[in-house]
Structure 1
Amino acid sequence: MDRSSSDALGARAGEGAEPSVPPDDPAGELAPGRRLALDVHQRLRAMILNGELPPGSVVPQAAMARELGVSRTPMREAFRLLQEEGLICARPDQRARVRAVDPEDLDDVYGTRIVLESLAVTVTAPTLTAEDLDRMADALRRMRELADTGGVDDWHAVHKEFHRIPTQAVGVHMERMLASLAEQSERYTRLAHLGGPVSCARADQEHEALLTALRAHDPAEAVRVLARHFARTGLSMLADLSPEYEPRSTRTGLAMVIGGGFPA
């Protein structure tokens, strides 16, 4: 593939999305093959998140490689990254598919996210500077503006930035796990079309409460706000997508974090 094709793919891949994995080379010295694989990954990820590749659809490597004008090697690496993020599933000798809506998976994602992100906030809160909190406030302001203008893709990008700041002190391994959970959460929130006036207003209040607790140097309150925020989001989606499902993981994670005991 010539340079112009590669540049065009990179431009398309970056629309409305940022890499879900930390950069392997902050200095910008990635090998061309690795850079291309990440560009392909971003493009496919965007297609999954925006519904261009809907849940359950087959994603054939060879056909996608031809469509995007790349070889099979970067396509295989892109597929590997998508599998790690839980966006596609593939068994040996079978074609990959976009993961279908699975209430058990959604429940596990939010139960795990409640526990891990609460730990990350507890670790990070004492290290946050005034500049960090100002960055959170700026992200919250931009989220409000984007909610008013309907910039869904940009809102999700800023939303991830907002939640990343109060967890930034964790190590690389946990950072990757949190990024993967955030990706899966975003996919479900998009599928559930969460974004009505009531939902947005409540989420905004919870984001403001999280920032207020961190400014007050009250990590315990910050964790309570965060845990309830994720629980409300996950439980709302489960009620909408699968009202008959009993969300044990989400409720148990919430009980563990806020100290309300374990569900019977």
Structure 2
Amino acid sequence: MSKVRANSLIKAPKAAPPLVEAESNLDESTRSKLPAGGDLHDVYHRVRQDILRGDLAPGDILNQVHIAKRYGVSRTPVREALRMLQAENLVDAQFQHRTRVTKVTSQEVDAVYATWILMQSLGIALTVPLVSEGELATLRDALDQMNDHSPLHDGTQDEWEHLHIDFHRMLVMHAGPIIKDSIENCWSRSERARRLHMRSAPQSWLASEEEHRDVVVAFEDGSAEEAVHAASRQLARNALAVIASIDPSYEPRAIRQALKLTLQAGSPAADSRSASFVAGAGLPTRTTAKKRARG
């Protein structure tokens, strides 16, 4: 959906003409591209994509009447779609009973990625011992497909994203439905942060290729520990880059603790490695945060 179309879902400022009236003045070629109708899931997926792609920006107010008119539905499925988006923390309906697009916060990124690191580590540790030779071959093919379709090789972010999700699902294929559902929830809640990171740091595509290759090599070697370490480092790198772009002074306590637990929990080496990893991203560790508080 284009920027013009997405903006018609936003509540118009009082001083400006209503956006619904402006929509009625669109020429026929533009009007023919608008969706003729939709149901709950259609509305949910379309508005969600506009938020994830940035067509609907943080702070924008979503107007239920405009959304219902756009998709040719009643306000009931619109309300349900907005509730679904609120459950993903993509919108917030608490401010004066209006529904706003939420911001990506450091606290959210820290909490979601820490949970993701822990659940993915558990899923990988359960999967590596059970992977067959045929599944390893499929995993290698998935890696090649993903790399071939990255923006580094004339692919698009959307193409790569779908293949990326499939690749990571294979890493936890033997983890069971409850663990996999928890990881899927992290995928959903982190999508804006991941897209933000990929747009702001093009060089991250190359780093992702190397990290994914390290994970596959660890699977081939039958080393759950190395696979966990490689996958955890990749998630942490992405999260720390996003946090640093939002608030460089924020201390990612949850991610640091998750890394400590996944990199040989309880050992001095684990504490040192997780702290140095965070420090390498230019973010404060617990020690530097305490020094700053004393100052």
When normalised by structure 2's length, the TM-score is 0.72
- Aligned pairs for 1:37-52 (under 5 A) are 37-52=40-55
Q: Look up the match of 2:59.
A: 56
Counterpart check, 1:248 vs 2:253? yes
- How far off its partner does 1:43 sit? 1.4
Conserved 8 A contact 2:127-2:175: yes
Q: Do the aligned residues in 2 keep the contact of 1:125 with 1:219 (CA within 8 Å)?
A: yes
Query: Counterpart in 2 of 1:68?
Result: 71
Find the counterpart in structure 2 of residue 219 from structure 1: 224
Is the contact made by 1:9 and 1:40 (CA closer than 8 Å) also made in structure 2?
no
Structure with higher Rg: it is 2
SS at match of 1:78: helix
Deviates more, 1:84-93 or 1:111-120: 84-93
Q: Does 1:82 align with 2:88?
A: no
Query: Which secondary structure does the structure 1 equivalent of 2:149 belong to?
Result: helix
Give, in angstroms, the shift of residue 258 of structure 1: 0.5
Matched, 1:140 2:143: yes
Hey, what does 2:293 align to over in structure 1?
none
What is the letter of the counterpart of residue 159 of structure 1? H
Aligned residues: 235
Q: How does 1:1-264 map to 2 (within 5 A)?
A: 36-91=39-94, 94-147=97-150, 148-194=153-199, 196-259=201-264, 260-261=270-271, 264=286
Residues 122/48 of structure 1: CA separation in 2 closer, same or farther (3 Å cut): same
C-alpha distance 121-50 of structure 1, shift in aligned 2 (>3 A): same
RMSD of aligned alpha carbons: 2.5
> Could you tell me which residue of structure 2 aligns to residue 27 of structure 1?
none
CA contact 2:36–2:71 (8 Å) conserved in 1: no
Residue range with higher mean Cα deviation, 47-56 or 71-80: 71-80
Structure 1 residues 243-252 or 77-86, which shifts more?
Answer: 77-86
Question: Percent identical across equivalent pairs?
Answer: 34
Q: Deviations over 1:223-246 (max 9, x none)?
A: 111111111111111122211111
SS at match of 2:100: strand
Change (3 A) 1:45 1:255: same
